[in-house]
Each structure stands twice: as C-alpha cells, then as structure tokens.
Amino acid sequence: MLYLHIPFCKQKCSYCNFHFSTSLTFKDEMLGAMKKEIFLRKDELQSKTLKSLYFGGGTPSILKVDELNALIDEVLKYFAFDPDIEITLEANPDDLDAQFLKGLSQSPVNRLSIGTQSFFDEDLKLMNRAHNAGQAEDSIKRAQDFGFENISIDLIYGSPTSDFEIWKENLNKTIEFQVPHISSYALTVEPKTALNQWIQQRKVAAPIEAEQHAEFSYMVDFLKDHGFDHYEISNFGKPGFHSQHNSAYWKSKEYLGIGPSAHSFNGWNERSWNIANNLRYIDALNQNTLAKESEILTEKEQFNEMMMIGLRTMWGVDLQQMEGKFSDIIQEEFQKNIAPKLETGILIIENGHLKIPEKHWFLADGIASDLFIL
C-alpha cells in the first residue's frame, strides 16, 4: 500500500491541524522531491504489487491531472498494480469542475474521497471550507456523470452551527445521491486551530459530547437500514465499497508514506515518519537523503496499538494471532484486564475475535486505552 501526501491547500479549515501549506510557490520542487523519495524507498515494501494507491493531504485535487498522472507513472517504474487496485484521490468539491473530472476520468484514478463535510452553508462557513453547499451537491452529481461510481464523502457531525434535524438532512442527502461510502467524524477541537481559539474567546460554542453521541447513534442505525456496513467507527460502506486503503491500516498491514509528514509502517514493529516541513523535506531529497525519523515498537507498544486499532473495527482483535505474537506476561495481563469488561458486556468474544459491541463504539478509544499495558 502506497500513500502520497500532497501538502497544499487553498485555505486552512478552522478545525484542521494536519500539515500543509497554502502557498504553491514550491509545488514543482515538491513533486520532484516526492518522485525522488519514491525511488529511494522503493525497496521498503515487501510486496511490489500494490493493491492501493492513495493521494491524501492537504488537498491532492489542487494538482493538475497531468501532475497526478506523472506521479502515478513514477510509481509504475518500481511497482506493479494489482488488477483490482484502488487508486483514491482526496478532493474538495470546488476542485471537481467538468474539465478536471474529464481529465481524471481518463486517468488511472478510480475512487474519489470528496471532502463534503456538510450540505449546509452555515456549517461550511464555520469550518472555513473553500466550497459552498451548492458545490457540495454538484460535485457528487458531476463526478457520477463522468463515470465515478466508487465515491466516498466526508461528513462532520456535532458542529455548534448544526442540530439534529440538519444532521438528519445531511444523511438523507447521502442516500439521495447514492454515495456508496461515508467517512464521518465528530467535530473535534484541536490545539493551535482557529476553532479552538474561537471557542476560547467565546465566539463559538464548544461541541456538546451528548449531542454528538446522539447524532452518531442515529447515523449508525440510519446507514445500516440503508444497506451500509459499519466496518470501522467512522466508516460505512456498501458491500464491495469498503476502503482498501483504510482497511489495510486497521489490519496492521505494511504501508509506505511519501511526502512531508507522511508515515510508514513495516507491518510488524517499525514505524517511520517524514519531517513536517516542506522546504526541509525538499532540501533533504535534493541531497539524496531522507528527512525522516523512525522507531522500533516495543512489545507493549505493539500490543497497545493492536488494541487501539482492532477494537475500532467490526473485525475486532484476532485472539489466535495474539497468542503467537505476545509473551506469556502480556497475555496474562491482557486476560486479567478484559475479564471485568467481558462480564459487563462492554467487550465480547465472537468467532475467536475480541470486539466492542457496536452500541459502545462511540467510547471505543477509552475502552481500548483501559487495556493498554504500560
């Protein structure tokens, strides 16, 4: 699995703390550096056949189709594509005009992840999104008209500009547009963001967790009633439309991340991450070096990560896999920690997998952290 991080955006969303720049001054140099990194790290993936290629960011749709194709061509110099490869482009609605979509439809990209967030202008203004409600709707219809069937949209719930009725209407529209995949997240307040500052200054009300929980619960039932699989806390897909890229993360498979701030994982015990600084990233690659750090995960860290990731999904944690991976000391403490949660039903064992019942998924991160071994 290969991830390409495109670190550019038109403007900064009020809630976002990801790495990107709103200046395209060094775009060409960045793309050249990313191609260099692909070459330098081509042997880090054990498999030379990719099942997923993902353009994330940032806003990858800020690039021209020719630039995206050039990156794909570079990847193809060193990797083969599985016949069923999923090639995803994250895109903002305002970028998906007819000219861009026409070119994209003739490229290898076969999946779009559209940053819709909401179909209501008041929400979008609070989030400082570059698109409006009309563009949110039109972009989906237009993408479908150009032959894109594998479409995911992002939706944010629990905004102080929204309410339960608005949230229900957002979900109704996803069904109306026949979108086969939805990634939906509660609005969170991250440090060093405009949203956090507005809340501190009392210009905006803080999200209310009880309201977010209610909207999450409604979404789960609503989407399941309309044929979606709830396969990870924040992700819902029709059968055949689960994200191959995200599923690989949750199943702890190896992945290689290219671009500033991108992360990589060898599928077992080593993680690395690139520097989150565009110019330093470019300078390093110009000298044929990698501006990255890495760490070897301890047995406890591997265990904790398995809990955190696995318990967020419908698959849960494979107990048989655990037996061959962790020491007796880890296993004993694990059994001791899960016992009271199994008694109360917060955890269950089903077909050899440890799971959190779906009704408790909203609290999954806290439940998983209770099992961490420190």
CA 95 – CA 130 distance, rounded (Å): 9
Q: Which residues of the chain have pLDDT under 70?
A: none
Q: What is the pLDDT of residue 12?
A: 79
pLDDT tens by residue, 163-195? 999 999 999 999 999 999 999 999 988 888 888
Strand runs labelled E in 118-218: 151-157, 181-186
Residue-level pLDDT at 192: 84
Strand order, beta sheet including 2-6: 229-232, 235-237, 181-186, 151-157, 111-117, 80-91, 49-57, 2-6, 256-258
Q: Please, are residues 86 and 242 in contact by the beta-carbon 8 Å criterion?
A: no
Check if CATH label 1.10.10.920 holds for domain 298-374: yes
The amino acid that residue 297 corresponds to is L
Could you tell me which of 371, 300, 373, 309 has the C-alpha nearest to residue 340?
Answer: 371
Tens of pLDDT along 312-328?
A: 999 999 999 888 889 99
* Cα angle 180-181-182, degrees, rounded to a multiple of 5: 135
Read off the pTM: 0.93
Which numeric CATH code is attached to 2-249? 3.30.750.200
Where in the chain are the domains?
A: 2-249, 298-374
